[in-house]
Amino acid sequence: MEAQLLKDRVAIVTGASRGLGEGIARAFAREGAAVALFSRNIARLRELERELGEGAVAFQVDVSDAGQVTQAVGEVLERFGRVEILVNNAAIAPSMPFLETPDEVRDSVIEVNIKGVWNCTKAVLPGMIAQKYGKIINISSVTGPMVSGKGVTAYSASKGAVSGFTRSLALEVAEHGINVNAICPGSFDTPMMRSLAKPRGWASEDDYIKELGKEIPLGRLGTIDEMGDLAVFLASDKSKYITGAEIVIDGGNMIQEHKG
């Protein structure tokens, strides 16, 4: 049996109740990490906590609220003594034309997708600096930093900010033995992706997901397990010489000149 890549590590995964965050949390637990699960959906986190076993602990946290984040991170430190891995995954992705986007929707995207990353990183970073070790993984997107689409202006802007945040912070903390990287997913079969079906005119979520997959060179959308595999690599010492990077995981979609 191969050694677990994250054995005895302590990780925080935000937005862990579903989708990519759930996939990452599952992969971390499988590789031996203790995982603090952050989300507003405490009922789903409790279920996941039971599924993952003794090393998983659920925390009801709104990452846009700095006070809640600070309190939860303090509880993680009290329980485990350290945090070595942070995955900033929590995000929202409303889809609507720019001129129809209320300021309240714009602000909610900024609160969760940008301030959430800021709040969680600020809460764990002092401990990482003190222990001279840390892995921070920000879930950005191809949408915003590299490509985009209609109706996701707020989301695109927020993910562009996450990528810029990643590069700058990586430079600041490299001397402390901390790696900061971003994962840029393309299209994955997640509840967030499925929620875009109706706003984009599809009656069936399954049909929408299947149609999206036809345009991708590998012929399908990504799975949350595949996201988990990449996150494990970046959280492990296998990636110790990688920092400030944006790693695309999209089934080859970005390299196409023409799609379909």
Instruction: List b or e across 122-148, with b for residues whose CB sees 16 or more CB atoms inside 10 angstroms.
Output: ebbbebbbeeebbbbbbbbbbbbbbeb
Angle at 254 between CA 253 and CA 258, to 5 degrees: 75
Choose the catalytic residue: 133, 155, 208, 241.
155
Burial (CB count <10 Å: 0-12, 13-18, 19+), residue 98: exposed
Which residues, 6+ apart, have CB-to-CB distance to 79 below 8 Å? 57
Answer whether 145's CB lies under 8 Å from 186's CB: no
**155 counts as catalytic:** yes
Catalytic residues: 155
